[in-house]
Amino acid sequence: MPVLSERLLAPVDIVVDTREASKNPDIVEMLMRSGLRVARVALNAGDYYLLAPEGKRPILVERKTVNDFLNSIRDNRVWEQARLLKEAAEEDGARPLIILEGWLGVAEKKRKWRMSAVLRILDELILDWGIPVLPSPNKQGTAAWLAAKAKSLGRVEEKKVVRLRVEKKPMTVKERILYVAESIIGPRLARKLLEHFKTLRAVANASIAELMRVEGIGEKRAREIYAIFNTPWEPEEKGER
């Protein structure tokens, strides 16, 4: 699946996803005021696509506010979003990047989360998935970085306007199994978990003690995995976030 849903008709510096542009027109305005040539196009992944000339790699950027990021962790969507960003970037020869906008301390102050747990997600994204995470204080900081980086990639007239026409292959059963395991424990330990238990059913039926026999899984992580498979699900009450 290529990043761009359609072919660009003229050179541009940066492509903004149409949904992102409609939600944050002020960022688009700031980019245009900085002298960049901006196009609004439906992107199959990411929010901003910084084009580059021959010899340089474009950059596919996913912009996340801290609250968006924390919600994706809570809902276990963070790994699927990371996979889509990385796959789309690789298919177009681009570099993936996540901009994390805002103060991460709200995880502890307002949500009462342990910061170590949030940092573990970040380190897996950076070290295991190979997706850099760039902090930004606010929208203005994000727009300023996007503008500076787009300009550093060269003159607009030199930038490519074509897109790769790569069709996304459907996931195999084994890939889906690995994806489910990664959503539970992250990419670093998912393969070890599957190598030990062989099937997701066996993982779901495992006791805490049995889970702890997997290399790299301590009691805390084992209890978290056990809770995922054994805690009754209840819908959130209205107004709960």
- For residue 58 the two structure tokens come to 């474009």
CATH number at residue 180: 1.10.150.20
Angle subtended at Cα 11 by Cα 9 and Cα 16, rounded to the nearest 5 degrees: 85
Q: Does residue 30 belong to any structural domain of this protein?
A: yes
Q: Among 131, 158, 185, where does a domain finish?
A: 158
Calculate what percentage of the chain has a pLDDT beyond 70: 88
Q: H-helix or E-strand containing 78? A: helix 78-91
Q: 150 with 58: CB under 8 angstroms? A: no
Are 147 and 182 contained in the same domain? Answer: no
- Give the number of other CB atoms < 10 A from CB of residue 202: 13
Q: Which residue has the tokens 């949500």?
A: 111
d(CA 241, CA 231): 19
* Domain span holding position 197: 173-230
Which residues, 6+ apart, have CB-to-CB distance to 51 below 8 Å? 11, 12, 13, 14, 15, 58, 150, 153, 159, 160, 161
Are 109 and 143 contained in the same domain? Answer: yes
DSSP 128: I
Number of residues written out for the chain: 241
Average pLDDT of the segment spanning 127-151? 96
Q: What is the pLDDT of residues 183-233, one digit of tens each?
A: 777 767 888 899 999 999 999 999 999 999 998 899 998 998 999 999 988
Dihedrals φ, ψ of 170, to 5°?
A: -65, 150
- Give the number of other CB atoms < 10 A from CB of residue 70: 21
d(CA 45, CA 59): 12
Are 82 and 184 contained in the same domain? Answer: no
Residue type, 17: D
pTM of the model: 0.67
Average pLDDT of the segment spanning 160-179? 62
Q: Give the per-residue pLDDT at 196.
A: 93
Are 116 and 218 contained in the same domain? Answer: no
pLDDT band of 166, cuts 50, 70, 90? very low
- For residue 51 the two structure tokens come to 């084009």
Are 204 and 128 contained in the same domain? Answer: no
Are 136 and 19 contained in the same domain? Answer: yes
Q: What is the pLDDT of residues 73-113, one digit of tens each?
A: 988 889 989 999 998 888 888 999 999 999 999 999 988 99
Q: Does residue 8 belong to any structural domain of this protein?
A: no
Domain total in the chain: 2
Are 179 and 143 contained in the same domain? Answer: no
Helix (H), strand (E) counts: the chain: 12, 6
Are 150 and 197 contained in the same domain? Answer: no
Return the minimum-mean-pLDDT range out of 33-42, 79-88, 158-167, 199-208. Answer: 158-167
Q: Is the pLDDT of residue 179 over 70?
A: yes
Are 65 and 116 contained in the same domain? Answer: yes
Q: 70 with 112: CB under 8 angstroms? A: no
Are 196 and 103 contained in the same domain? Answer: no
Angle subtended at Cα 220 by Cα 118 and Cα 75, rounded to the nearest 5 degrees: 45
Q: Does residue 188 belong to any structural domain of this protein?
A: yes
Are 201 and 115 contained in the same domain? Answer: no
Q: What is the pLDDT of residues 47-83, one digit of tens each?
A: 999 999 888 899 999 999 999 999 999 888 899 899 9
Q: Does residue 33 belong to any structural domain of this protein?
A: yes
Are 88 and 190 contained in the same domain? Answer: no
d(CA 52, CA 4): 14
Q: 138 with 38: CB under 8 angstroms? A: no
CATH number at residue 95: 3.40.50.10130
Q: Give the per-residue pLDDT at 77.
A: 87
Task: State whether the Cα torsion 174-177-181-182 is positive or negative.
Answer: positive
Q: Among 102, 124, 158, where does a domain finish?
A: 158
- Give the number of other CB atoms < 10 A from CB of residue 61: 28
